[in-house]
Amino acid sequence: MTTQMWMLLATFVLAVWLIAVPLGRVLALLVERAPQPLAGVERRLLRACGVSGAEQDWRGYAGALLLFNLAGALFLYALQQLQPVLPLNPQHFAAPTWDSALNTAVSFVTNTNWQGYAGETTMSHLTQMLGLTVQNFLSAATGIAVAFALMRGFARSAAAGIGNFWVDVVRITLWLLLPLSVLLALAFAAQGVIQNLSPDLTVALLEPLHTDAGVVGSQTLAMGPVASQEAIKMLGTNGGGFMNANSAHPFENPTAWTNVLQMLAIFAIPAGLCMAFGRVVGDRRQGWALLAAMTVLFVAAVAVILTQEQAGNPHFAALGVDQAASALQAGGNMEGKEVRFGIAASALFAAVTTAASCGAVNAMHASLMPLSGGVALLLMQLGEVVFGGVGSGLYGMLLFALLAVFVAGLMTGRTPEYLGKKISPAEMKPVVIAILVTPLLVLLGTAIAVGSEAGRAGLLNAGAAGFTEVLYAFSSAANNNGSAFAGLSANTPFYNCALALAMALGRFAVIVPVLALAGTLAGRIRATRAATDSVSAALPTHGPMFVVLLVLTVLLVGALTYLPALALGPLVEHINLIR
């Protein structure tokens, strides 16, 4: 790793922490109420919508959430199917196939934003705005709402309710996501991210292009309202690009600065939620512990990816290609990367986007070195808890915290407890269900795909690399990441349906148990430990030891479940490469 990389990584981590602290304050405030001048507006809007704002128990909360998301999915499906007859379709795009529309609808509603289609040649401006941008907001708000509910579950003592979903989703969208998105979108636009409603633009080429089909003298550029979608795509850890090349496209991510902003935007809310958690449960060290565990896992992952990518491809070296970093070039494995990002910013972005369940890419993950790709895969397979998705990262990490505390707590000779709440079978059940769901979907999905003709039909690369494409697709879908080893031709009925199922279950079969957990926890009495207790009888969950414990639990559960699959994909590829 070069000095430049260390500087970038260190600055980035520091910036994330610095953003997390004030943002955590705001988020913690939103858990309880709307900021003062806006509270009246919120109340009036909710009343107009017929929302009473009364506390819901977990079943009521989950019911409202599922209903709301179902409405979103149906609307997005219909919007795609109707786009030929709707306005703001300057390129006159036809409706996508039913399976592609279904996949896209589920994908955006579940905060996955897996894209089986190419944005600039499929979706009208209206679909991008009214369908995709909307779900970028709402799926993010849904995830944060679940995190809010779980925070309340921990903080409350002997309470029946975990909040009101309608209030939460409106409050999060209007007072958190919307203002941040406006600011970020304008910053992007200033740097060159396009924002217009124009049809494709044709410009003359400096040098006519001679092809087999004849001479081409012009270049057509896709246009659209990109900056507005780009902002929420990052802030909401959505990751679905306006363009096919996603954040590698110069119109989505034109400069090194927009790139840094994008990475910070991805981590901002997941990190801020950790801080908010600490505030809500009344012990900020608890939030720092979670953030520290996430940071440790993240930095380790970045280190591997950076080192691997900078070392470059041995096959290229044999062909007389210069991959050494110097003052004049980034060097390294530049296949599938952009010069303005080089190795450092591409590798960092790859780690950020897979650590968080964003899935935006500024480099093609399929062309990463095998071990880097493996680390990106593992970051998703760990359950998207290393920062993770907005909301889902925190609640996923809290599931692991409960698991860690359970095993470790037993070792201290007490019924394990976290934040003064005992972990009984009633808590354990939702935890293990939520943790089991995604490995089940990933492994079964991959097995079915590589075992079927329909699944094998879409592979671009052969052998272990092909296997990795499929494993990556299901890992990405079930964990609601959305990035891809894009060699896989996934826009087929088989993959569209299989991945849609994986995304839906990976999202809601986790959310429902998490809400059940929130409900159970809220009903428990929270043990308050007196300050006079010099020695904590319960395992402390804020120190370095807990951080180590949490990191090990996340790694152990993830590694033990996925090691065989990873060995057959990235590991074999890596050994092939170096021998």
Could you tell me the smallest distance in angstroms from the CB atom of residue 96 to other proteins? 16
Written as one letter, the residue type at 463 is: G
- Residues of this chain, 389-418, that bind other proteins according to CB under 8 A: 403, 406-415
Choose between 32 and 412: whose C-beta lies nearer to other proteins. 412
What is the smallest separation between the CB atom of 338 and other proteins, expressed in angstroms?
A: 5
Nearer to other proteins, 24 or 370 (CB): 370
- Binders of other proteins: how many residues, by CB under 8 A? 208
Pick one of 23, 106, 248, 379: the residue that binds other proteins (CB under 8 A). 248
Of 291, 302, 470, the residue nearest 385 (C-alpha): 291
Q: Which stretch binds other proteins (CB under 8 A): 20-28, 93-101, 175-183, 277-285?
A: 175-183
User: Rounded to 5 degrees, what are φ and ψ at 374?
Assistant: -65, -40
Query: CB under 8 A: which stretch of 23-31, 148-156, 377-385, 518-526 binds other proteins?
Result: 518-526
Site string for other proteins, 547-566 (x = CB under 8 A): --x--x---xx--xxxxxx-
CB-nearer residue toward other proteins: 67 or 160: 67
Give the range of 243-251, 281-289, 392-400, 490-498 binding other proteins by CB under 8 A.
243-251
Report if residue 229 touches other proteins, rule: CB under 8 A: yes
- Could you give the angle at the alpha carbon of 37 between the alpha carbons of 35 and 43, nearest 5°? 80
Q: Assess 539 for contact with other proteins (CB under 8 A).
A: yes
Q: Contacts with other proteins in 341-360 (CB under 8 A)?
A: 341-342, 344-346
> Which residue type occupies 42?
E
Q: Closer CB to other proteins, residue 24 or residue 374?
A: 374
Question: Nearest-CA neighbor of 257 among 334, 192, 211, 304?
Answer: 192
Q: What are 204's strand-pairing partners?
A: 218
Question: Is residue 491 close enough to count as binding other proteins by CB under 8 A?
Answer: no
82 binds other proteins (CB under 8 A): no
Nearest-approach distance from CB 360 to other proteins, in angstroms: 12
User: Shortest gap between Cβ of 80 and other proteins (angstroms)?
Assistant: 14
87 forms part of the interface with other proteins (CB under 8 A): no
Residues in contact with 139: Cβ distance below 8 Å, sequence separation at least 6, in sequence order: 69, 72, 108, 109, 110, 111, 236, 238
Residue 331 — left, alpha, or beta (φ > 0 → left; ψ -120 to 50 → alpha)?
Answer: left
Cβ proximity to other proteins, 25 vs 420, nearer residue: 420
Using the rule CB under 8 A, which residue among 54, 425, 453, 531 binds other proteins? Answer: 425
CA 131 to CA 82: how far, in whole Å?
11
At closest approach, how far in Å is the CB of 343 from other proteins? 8
- Alpha carbon distance 79, 86 (integer Å): 9
| Ramachandran quadrant class, 117 (left: phi over 0; alpha: psi -120 to 50; beta: rest) | beta
- Whole-angstrom distance, CA of residue 65 vs CA of residue 550: 29
Contact segment (CB under 8 A) with other proteins among 25-33, 42-50, 104-112, 272-280 equals 42-50
Encoded amino acid at 35, one letter: P
Q: Which position has the token pair 């060290």?
A: 285
Who contacts 325 (Cβ-Cβ below 8 Å, separation ≥6)?
2, 4, 310, 331, 332, 343
